[in-house]
Structure 1
Amino acid sequence: MANIAQAELYLVNLEPEVKRTDAIQSFVCQETPILVLTDEEGNIGVGYTYTIGTGGSSIVALLNDHLLPMLIGQDADCIEHIWKRLYFHTHATAVGAITSLALSAIDIALWDMRCKKANLPLWKLAGGAKSEIPLYTTEGGWLHLSPEQLVDDALNVQAQGFGGSKIKVGSANIADDERRLSAVREAVGDNYHIMIDANQSFTHDEAIRRARVFADRGITWLEEPLPADDISGHAMLCRQGSLPIAVGESLYSARSFREYLQMHACNIVQVDVARVGGITPWLKVAHLAETYNVSVSPHFLMELHVSLCCAIPNSRWLEYIPQLGPLTEETFHIINGKAQAPELNGIGIEWDWKAIRAKNRGRTVIKR
């Protein structure tokens, strides 16, 4: 048994590589807490989490003031025990976004340490279902982009072998959304997947109206048409049946996914490993979805999700949005539009510590 002896926490801010807008917000800054755990034998595990502009300092405060002091001295191999212990310690704020995002940094670091001690990459230790996963891109589909810009990006990634593109919808007029989708469909042909994302911006009647129009464009899924807590509304849209419904990026617990699946309120699960609380609950959600014959196409965090997608049998797509490039030595490899499972032991990310220390906004160390 090797107990955790030290926790070292960094906070790095990253500007998006391109302008990112959707129907309700702009992605102005990625606050990225990075956690390094060391056990008594010198084994190291690295985890991280993120925000899209606000809350990073709150995550750091929760980790420093409450979670990391409880973590020191715990057996690093007992990941389930640690997750439950920290979760119940924060019962007054769980389930909540800040708490789940803080828990995920710890859980991911523990899994990274476990994999390195086992001399295995995460995708093998967590299941080893496949060695590659098809990619679709969101990076060229933001709401502010013109139809011509959407077409140029879709044709570019299609030529690289990508299987699809996600287009943001929720323009003031349905005709504007239709014009953008029609331009891309005409350019890429019928065999290329187009996903659309409303970012929770529709009312029930507007979701029904737009889904019927969008369905004529051969859309693969409609993502987050309604507020994430409107389970019955999503169930209604699934029964209505114009388009497959995808949800998950705004759900912060495994139980929330259970309720969606039980109510047949989604067709695709988009569980986010940081927002759901880490790898431990992510795997539970993915396996639960499999029992409902529902596929998993996770939200964001492609550098980590590539390993998780390759660990499970029911993953369908990996979302391409570059995130950690300025902080890593290299990202995963892509062959013919498919992300290859990393062979690096651990979670599959090779960090650039010189860059992290240069961009760090505040380092804290907690020791036994």
Structure 2
Amino acid sequence: MSIITQATARLVDIPVETLRTDAVQSFQSQETIFVDLVAADGSEGRGYTYTIGTGGSAVLALLRDVFLPQLIGMDTRRTEHIWNTLFASTRATAPGAITSLALAAVDTAVWDLNGRREGNPLWIAAGGYTHELACYDTENGWLHISTDELVAGIVAVKEGGMRAAKVKVGKPTVQGDVERLRAVREAVGDDFEIFVDANQSFTVPEAIRRAAAFAELGIGWLEEPLPADNVAGHAQLARHSAVPIAVGETLYSVKQFQTYVDMEAASILQVDVARVGGITPWLKVAHLAEAANLPVAPHFLMELHVSLACAIPNGGWVEHIPQLRAVTHNGPVPVNGVMQAPATPGLGIDWDEAQLTRLTVATAGAGSGSVAGTN
């Protein structure tokens, strides 16, 4: 039977692997919230979601108080029913980050359980378009890195076989950004893609100004140039910019992506499976993008996104940015600039149970044998 009999959650604080800075923040920690499901036939599934420093306890509280109790008795084969029932129970807080993050932990657990029961890896279950995709590096492009370090790191990335990397922008002056980017371009040549990410730090006039300067360097995309809720501003920028505009990591519903597409405000959709509410809505955004002839280049979470981006015909680049190595035994490793989707059933992530236990800071649960409350 595919009926859920037990649902538990826990908050795990995973150390940041390296110092990460952008124009507006520093990556403090990865609060990772896990949901484990058990069905009546013994099938199990594990999903997860994350924050980058705050809010993890709020996500866990929503799971404990609202979502986990509802899951008991639900049929895991009915993914749309589960997702929409939980969403409907939080109308007052949806769409929004906390609700979407909590939904993602549940939804990915449902997909994992179903995939493991049926023997299907995620990339097959979600569409099965291809088993591998090109990836780009983010770990060598942080804003605090000196120009010399930036160039050395990205040259090493190219020598390792990757064909693209992302550089954070948002220096106090246009010239500050341009000098760094020009140094990288001169070092890697014209046959290497350079993407840039402003992390919502510009005004519309400044974004137009910098996009023009970046275009001269052959930049592949300008990511999150403006606050994510300024769709009209992004549309205005897109009309003026020769550099494609990429958005998505801070959008929390399918309808928000629909608005961007309708207003022609973005050329690349960077939907994040955790922030949009799970695999179920992620695929809707991906197919929305396909219908609009737009590529999907998902944000972060490469362990999940490599499978999802491979599942669809319009998968673009996968972002290489490791963060789960402290709690896993495996993980996608780029080979000659290409990342392969896991072939094992479900999400395909081999968790290190001992490390998860060591790093757990709070738990919650519902159903027989579950953990009651939080600690």
Could you state the TM-score of these two structures normalised by the residue count of structure 2? Answer: 0.97
Aligned AA (2:214): F
Identity %: 54
Runs of 4+, deviation exceeding 4 Å:
none
Counterpart of 1:201? Answer: 201
Equivalent-residue separation in structure 1 for 2:250 and 2:364 (angstroms): 29
Give the root-mean-square deviation of aligned CA atoms. 0.8
Counterpart of 1:72? Answer: 72
Equivalent-residue separation in structure 2 for 1:334 and 1:164 (angstroms): 12
Deviation at 1:105, TM superposition (A): 0.2
Counterpart of 1:98? Answer: 98
Contact 2:87 / 2:103 at 8 angstroms: preserved in 1?
Answer: yes
Give the alignment of 1:216-295 within 5 angstroms.
Answer: 216-295=216-295
Counterpart of 2:7? Answer: 7
1:102-122 CA-partner distances (Å, limit 9, x unpaired): 000000000001111110101
Aligned AA (1:46): R
Aligned AA (2:123): W
Please state whether the residue corresponding to 1:111 is helix, strand or coil. helix
Deviation at 1:352, TM superposition (A): 0.7
Deviation at 1:334, TM superposition (A): 2.5
Counterpart of 2:318? Answer: 318
Contact 2:2 / 2:39 at 8 angstroms: preserved in 1?
Answer: yes
Confirm or deny that 1:54 pairs with 2:54: yes
Deviation at 1:244, TM superposition (A): 0.3
Counterpart of 1:360? Answer: 360
Please state whether the residue corresponding to 1:6 is helix, strand or coil. strand
Q: What is the number of equivalent residue pairs in this alignment?
A: 368
Equivalent-residue separation in structure 2 for 1:300 and 1:104 (angstroms): 14
Give the alignment of 1:342-353 within 5 angstroms.
Answer: 342-353=342-353
1:291-328 CA-partner distances (Å, limit 9, x unpaired): 00000000000011010011001011000110111111
Confirm or deny that 1:167 pairs with 2:178: no
Equivalent-residue separation in structure 1 for 2:235 and 2:258 (angstroms): 13
Aligned AA (1:238): A
Contact 2:134 / 2:339 at 8 angstroms: preserved in 1?
Answer: yes
Counterpart of 2:34? Answer: 34
Aligned AA (1:72): I
Deviation at 1:173, TM superposition (A): 1.3
Please state whether the residue corresponding to 2:46 is helix, strand or coil. strand
Aligned AA (2:22): D
Counterpart of 1:150? Answer: 150
1:231-270 CA-partner distances (Å, limit 9, x unpaired): 1111111111321000000100000001100111000000
Equivalent-residue separation in structure 1 for 2:138 and 2:334 (angstroms): 16
Deviation at 1:359, TM superposition (A): 1.0
Could you state the TM-score of these two structures normalised by the residue count of structure 1? Answer: 0.99
Aligned AA (1:168): K
Contact 2:31 / 2:51 at 8 angstroms: preserved in 1?
Answer: yes
Aligned AA (1:165): A
Equivalent-residue separation in structure 2 for 1:292 and 1:2 (angstroms): 36
Please state whether the residue corresponding to 2:65 is helix, strand or coil. helix
Equivalent-residue separation in structure 2 for 1:133 and 1:146 (angstroms): 30
Please state whether the residue corresponding to 2:92 is helix, strand or coil. coil
